[in-house]
Structure 1
Amino acid sequence: MRRLRDLMADTRPLRNDHFRRLWLANIITVVGAQLTVVAVPAQIYQMTGSSAYVGLTGLFGLVPLVVFGLWGGALADHFDRRTLMICTTTGLIGTSALFWVQAALGNTDVWLLLGLFSVQQAFFAVNQPTRSAILPKLLPAELLPAANSLNMTLFTAGAIGGPLLAGVLIPVIGFSWLYLIDTLSLFATLGAVVRLPRLPVEAAMKGTPGLRSVIEGFRYLRGHPVLMMSFVVDLIAMVFGMPRALFPEIAHTSFNGPDEGGLVFALLFAAIPAGAVIGGIFSGWVSRVDRQGYAVIVCILIWGAAMTGFGVAVALADQWQQAMLLVALLMLVVGGAADMASAAFRTSMLQSAADDAVRGRLQGIFIVVVAGGPRIADVVHGASAAMVGTAAAAAGGGILVIVGTMVAAVAVPSFIRYRITRTPTITQ
């Protein structure tokens, strides 16, 4: 029984009043946010009947995420972070309310909807690095992996449950009510943020946060190879190892699903986040790991091996279709669990190893890497599959992850040697 408790998620961060309030509020907010994530492209398609317009959400979302993610990190290293979180959360409430208004009034202008989406993503891009940068002020370093695991598990569970709920509710209550639910849910987070203590930045940068301060963040990163490596290995894992662009073709050609989607298509897309949720539930071990750099390398090697196994299963689908579908899904689940653990460790390293004065900027870079890596992977895998087929593209990508990660580990041995310093008490 004790061994089972040790495997379950480490909930000690929830003893901290501030973290607990933020986390519990996010249970409501994450589901509401996912309703909007689904409602925006669905409303655009209803307006236009065009997948090309729906595809513009990627562009209108990515550009502000990159620009304001980097600038938002600079803001988080300049202003009191509690104040900045109050401002950005209020901005998110305002944009969600405008989503509700335009839908309730029967808006048919797709550019208005895309413009609102961009503004929302800009507020989100400033809010997220700020939120991540405050954790070391609330919790000791040894509890950061557990706290990040709890946050990621909650976010991933919402990413699964929210779209399913939205798919059921859209035909019943329409878009405007989904936007209204999202708007109201954000007040839970605002209430938790308002109750935070003042969070001034130690040795905050002087002057106006702009391009120069963003560049200073990159210079700091270049001078700290352990932190730099946390980004490099993530890019290796995502660019070479994320096969999601292949899922529609694999579902149709390898497992005989309908070309417009179907059950197999849905299962493939849900498998990685499902693995992340399972990994989060059984993440009690992450708090006991001191050698976090070594743990990241092991997790990414498991991710690469799982993606290789996924590609092999797809290659053998012609002979043993049902059995290989199960194997393919299992490999994606394993990969999702490994990626969750890797992300928890990498985020914790950025939070604990970086100086407080640059934490916001590094978290901004982290958001850009997390958002950009999978999108680059979509292009790489799509082009590779056109040349060598989906199975070879997926398996080959997994092998490249393993090789690239091992090369990076050998090139920067200080990353593997990195370990945390434990403190005896939990800050309340």
Structure 2
Amino acid sequence: MTGPLGVPAFRRLLLAAFVSEIGDWVLLVALPVYVYQRTGSVGSTATTFVVALLPSLALSPLAGVLADRWDRRRLMLVVTLAQAVALLPLLTGDLVLVNVVMAVQAALASLFEPARNALLPEVVGREQVAAANGLAGLTANLARLIGASLGGLVLAWGGLPGVLWVDVASFVLAAALLTRRFPVERGPSAATRHPWRAWLEGLRAIRGPLRGMVAVIGLVAVGQGLFVVLFVVFVTERLGGGEAEVGLLRGVQAVGGLVGGAAVGWLARRLSAWSLLGWSLVAFGAVAATAWNSVHLTTVFAFYLGVFALCGAPGVVAGAGTMSVLQLHTPDTVRGRVLATFLSLYDAFQALGMVLAGVLAAPLGLTALLNAQAALYLGAGLLVLLGVGVVGSNDLDGNSTSVVRGNRAYDP
């Protein structure tokens, strides 16, 4: 077996992320539907997601420092087990506790993600980072296809307790895969000074081409925030769907994501970094605009299955490339802090998009806000193609780098 899959530690890391993400998508799809069904309020749905983001923003400095100071596999193992336990209050069905659980899960995920993504280059080697991120994007979309499709169905058949136990099972299995040691494990290192000073040290590493990524990620994240809140409303009010339809349309995006994940390595060898990112975002925005405006012509569900499946390909290409450049433009000693900073930046702008969705849905209308979401992606792509950032920049070893957020695909 050649490539990243030839590394046993990477296979276990990939599988652990896969099963955990299945449960995550079940929860991510089911909870907003549950809240919207209980309240009938777009504002309440938006509040659920915004509350979930705030703890992760507050913990970002600590998350990056921990990822650089502690053994990353052990940190991931502890966080995964804590996530399983933190789901148990959902058994009450109380809406306040739903918000609390969402907040705790987001906080724990903010500790997990920088450690996982900072560990990947150590596991596979720098020369295989792009291919490994492509495989991570592929499996993330397969998990999305399974988990998001299950989310609505599990909620409809088993209620909130059924959703909870599916997610708990995924975390327990992921933890079992992380119990075995990785060859690259190390003891405490890097950020040995005060956590706040250590985090500021990581901020100073954001220079060169990474500065341009701040604007691009900000635009995309606001668009994602609009989508997360308004998608349920779009499917239920414009398409006449229910729980199963919401889950299926979220999950089917992974069909295109599988294709995009498989193609990342091939594309990265043939296109410049910024061209790859720019054109994928432009294509993504165009497909999103098609989805939102086609409702004036047809509400046939099969049509939207095709459109949402199509958008997955440019989404995962953009996601895998973004993570690759962040990994390759930072040394291992500060990688966790740099990744945590960009994740918190994404979450902050996503929260802004969620707030805007809740506040502006009534005065501006659903269609206008969804078109604004598509325009944000188009704008981000055009910024890249017009030269924001450093075109043709090199990674730390002097090799051409693909610049395309994390291994999770962007949503339309």
TM-score tier (shorter): 0.7 to 0.9
Contact 1:64–1:121 (CA<8 Å) still a contact in 2?
yes
Residue 362 (structure 1) aligned to one of 321, 326, 338: 338
In the alignment, the residues of structure 2 paired with residue 44 and residue 252 of structure 1 have an alpha-carbon distance, to the nearest angstrom, of: 13
Aligned to 2:319: 343
Matched, 1:136 2:130: no
TM-score by length of 2: 0.78
Aligned to 1:289: 269
Contact 2:56–2:107 (CA<8 Å) still a contact in 1?
yes
In the alignment, the residues of structure 2 paired with residue 83 and residue 165 of structure 1 have an alpha-carbon distance, to the nearest angstrom, of: 30
Aligned to 1:195: 180
Residue 415 (structure 1) aligned to one of 390, 393, 406: 393
Matched, 1:166 2:158: no
Contact 2:223–2:376 (CA<8 Å) still a contact in 1?
yes
Aligned to 1:22: 13
Letter in 1 for 2:58: V
Matched, 1:121 2:121: no
Identify if the C-alpha distance between structure 1 residues 381 and 187 changes in structure 2 by more than 3 Å, giving closer, same or farther: closer
Residue 406 (structure 1) aligned to one of 385, 388, 392: 385
Identity rate of aligned residues, in percent?
A: 24
Letter in 1 for 2:325: M
Identify if the C-alpha distance between structure 1 residues 282 and 129 changes in structure 2 by more than 3 Å, giving closer, same or farther: same
Q: Give the match's secondary structure for 1:220.
A: coil
In the alignment, the residues of structure 2 paired with residue 60 and residue 394 of structure 1 have an alpha-carbon distance, to the nearest angstrom, of: 21
Identify if the C-alpha distance between structure 1 residues 108 and 365 changes in structure 2 by more than 3 Å, giving closer, same or farther: same
Contact 1:303–1:336 (CA<8 Å) still a contact in 2?
no
TM-score by length of 1: 0.75
Contact 1:311–1:390 (CA<8 Å) still a contact in 2?
no
In the alignment, the residues of structure 2 paired with residue 276 and residue 379 of structure 1 have an alpha-carbon distance, to the nearest angstrom, of: 28
In the alignment, the residues of structure 2 paired with residue 113 and residue 310 of structure 1 have an alpha-carbon distance, to the nearest angstrom, of: 30
Q: Give the match's secondary structure for 2:80.
A: helix
Q: How much does 1:235 deviate?
A: 2.8
* Cα RMSD, aligned residues only: 4.0
Contact 1:275–1:335 (CA<8 Å) still a contact in 2?
yes
Letter in 1 for 2:152: G
Matched, 1:279 2:260: yes
Contact 1:239–1:373 (CA<8 Å) still a contact in 2?
yes
In structure 2, runs of 5+ residues without a counterpart are 401-412
Q: How does 1:175-214 map to 2 (within 5 A)?
A: 175-197=160-182, 199-200=185-186, 204-209=190-195, 211-214=196-199
In the alignment, the residues of structure 1 paired with residue 115 and residue 31 of structure 2 have an alpha-carbon distance, to the nearest angstrom, of: 25
Identify if the C-alpha distance between structure 1 residues 400 and 171 changes in structure 2 by more than 3 Å, giving closer, same or farther: closer
Identify if the C-alpha distance between structure 1 residues 341 and 57 changes in structure 2 by more than 3 Å, giving closer, same or farther: same
Aligned to 2:409: none
Residue 257 (structure 1) aligned to one of 239, 247, 254: 239
Identify if the C-alpha distance between structure 1 residues 420 and 249 changes in structure 2 by more than 3 Å, giving closer, same or farther: farther
Aligned to 2:215: 232
After superposition, what is the alpha-carbon deviation per residue over 1:231-267, rounded to whole angstroms, capped at 9, x for unaligned? Answer: 43333444469873665787799xx634x76999777
In the alignment, the residues of structure 2 paired with residue 309 and residue 362 of structure 1 have an alpha-carbon distance, to the nearest angstrom, of: 31
Q: How much does 1:359 deviate?
A: 0.7
Contact 1:141–1:348 (CA<8 Å) still a contact in 2?
no
In structure 1, runs of 5+ residues without a counterpart are 1-9, 423-428
After superposition, what is the alpha-carbon deviation per residue over 1:346-405, rounded to whole angstroms, capped at 9, x for unaligned? Answer: 212222221111111111123223434444455668969939946864665455334322
In the alignment, the residues of structure 2 paired with residue 417 and residue 134 of structure 1 have an alpha-carbon distance, to the nearest angstrom, of: 17
Residue 298 (structure 1) aligned to one of 271, 276, 291: 276
Identify if the C-alpha distance between structure 1 residues 167 and 248 changes in structure 2 by more than 3 Å, giving closer, same or farther: closer
Identify if the C-alpha distance between structure 1 residues 237 and 18 changes in structure 2 by more than 3 Å, giving closer, same or farther: same
In the alignment, the residues of structure 2 paired with residue 12 and residue 378 of structure 1 have an alpha-carbon distance, to the nearest angstrom, of: 39
Contact 2:35–2:45 (CA<8 Å) still a contact in 1?
yes
Letter in 1 for 2:171: L
Aligned to 1:426: none
In the alignment, the residues of structure 1 paired with residue 235 and residue 27 of structure 2 have an alpha-carbon distance, to the nearest angstrom, of: 27
Identify if the C-alpha distance between structure 1 residues 289 and 246 changes in structure 2 by more than 3 Å, giving closer, same or farther: same
Query: Which range is displaced more, 398-407 or 359-368?
Result: 398-407
In the alignment, the residues of structure 2 paired with residue 182 and residue 241 of structure 1 have an alpha-carbon distance, to the nearest angstrom, of: 23
In the alignment, the residues of structure 1 paired with residue 230 and residue 41 of structure 2 have an alpha-carbon distance, to the nearest angstrom, of: 22
Q: How much does 1:190 deviate?
A: 1.6
Identify if the C-alpha distance between structure 1 residues 392 and 139 changes in structure 2 by more than 3 Å, giving closer, same or farther: closer
Count residues in correspondence: 394
Letter in 2 for 1:279: G
Contact 2:155–2:243 (CA<8 Å) still a contact in 1?
no
In the alignment, the residues of structure 1 paired with residue 374 and residue 170 of structure 2 have an alpha-carbon distance, to the nearest angstrom, of: 41
Query: Which range is displaced more, 150-159 or 383-392?
Result: 383-392
Q: Give the match's secondary structure for 2:138.
A: helix
Identify if the C-alpha distance between structure 1 residues 372 and 278 changes in structure 2 by more than 3 Å, giving closer, same or farther: farther
After superposition, what is the alpha-carbon deviation per residue over 1:306-354, rounded to whole angstroms, capped at 9, x for unaligned? Answer: 4246537866875x6589x95x876765543223112212212222221
In the alignment, the residues of structure 2 paired with residue 240 and residue 42 of structure 1 have an alpha-carbon distance, to the nearest angstrom, of: 20
Contact 1:300–1:405 (CA<8 Å) still a contact in 2?
yes
Q: How much does 1:149 deviate?
A: 1.8
In the alignment, the residues of structure 1 paired with residue 252 and residue 216 of structure 2 have an alpha-carbon distance, to the nearest angstrom, of: 22
Identify if the C-alpha distance between structure 1 residues 418 and 340 changes in structure 2 by more than 3 Å, giving closer, same or farther: farther
Contact 2:76–2:112 (CA<8 Å) still a contact in 1?
yes
